Amino acid sequence: MVDHARARAIRTTEPLAEDVAIDGDDVERAMVEWQVEDAVRRLRAEHRQVLLEIYYRGRSSRDVAVELGIPEGTVRSRLFYALRSLRLALEEMGWEP
């Protein structure tokens, strides 16, 4: 009886799926995130790495260059081509510029 009471006390009551309200904006945002993630995965590894470091982690091109051991100009060049490739991938997926 004590074990049953302890187990019951630990359980949390979470709403069932039908009790959760789904907001259209949340669904739209999730779809956009999935599509962008898919497009980012299509990038070459070196382009993806620079893009993620600068845009998602907020690092400077100088910091990324030092970490990767490459010139800062190369980081900027990779970022330029990464963004161009990302745009093309998204357009192939049906996005409009």
DSSP 20-89: SPPPHHHHHHHHHHHHHHHHHHTS-HHHHHHHIIIIIS---HHHHHHHHTS-HHHHHHHHHHHHHHHHHH
Domain that holds residue 53: 26-92
Instruction: Indicate whether 36 belongs to any domain.
Output: yes
Please give the average per-residue pLDDT across 11-24, as a whole number.
Answer: 56
In a domain, 12, yes or no: no
Number of domains in the chain: 1
Mean confidence (pLDDT) of the chain: 83
In a domain, 53, yes or no: yes
Answer whether residue 49 is part of any domain. Answer: yes
Q: How confident is the model at residue 6 (pLDDT cuts 50, 70, 90)?
A: low
- The per-residue pLDDT for range 66-92, each reduced to its tens digit, is 999 999 999 999 999 999 999 999 999
Determine, yes or no, domain membership for 31.
yes
> What CATH code is carried by the domain that includes residue 69?
1.10.10.10
Question: What percent of the chain is predicted at pLDDT more than 70?
Answer: 75
